[in-house]
Amino acid sequence: MVPASAVQAQIPYAWVNRNKYTVTEKVAYIGTSNWSGDYFVRMAGSALVVNQTVSQTSASTAAGTSIIREQLQVVFEWDWSSQYSANISDVERWESLCGSR
């Protein structure tokens, strides 16, 4: 996310994309917790599980709108294919940035 104003540019980490969702073929999960076990066990958070189905002939699909799961899938694929995403298994790259283990 690029800050739209000088005020927004002063917000720490405002440019970091911190989405907390997952998408499967049928369901979308949108939550407030990071994806680590301790967040799910020790932290309070909220989540929305969307199991929204629609037939291919429905009025909403014909009108050009999509279900929430499809919208999140588009966002995920956009981020996944971004020039700013990085392969986390590229050990050499991370050692050059973070130092060796």
Q: What distance in Å separates the CA atoms of residue 99 and residue 96, rounded to the nearest whole number? A: 6
Which residues in the chain show pLDDT less than 70? 1-3, 13-16, 54-65, 97, 99-101
Q: What is the pLDDT of residue 6?
A: 84
Of the candidates 20, 16, 13, which has an alpha carbon nearest to the alpha carbon of residue 36? 20
**pLDDT tens-digit profile of 56-65?**
555 555 555 6
Q: What is the pLDDT of residue 14?
A: 65
Q: What distance in Å separates the CA atoms of residue 75 and residue 66, rounded to the nearest whole number? A: 13
Q: What is the pLDDT of residue 12?
A: 75
Q: What is the pLDDT of residue 91?
A: 77
One DSSP character per residue, 2-55 reads: --SSHHHHTSTTTTS----EEE-SS-EEEESS-SSHHHHHHS---EEEE-----
Q: What distance in Å separates the CA atoms of residue 26 and residue 75, rounded to the nearest whole number? A: 16
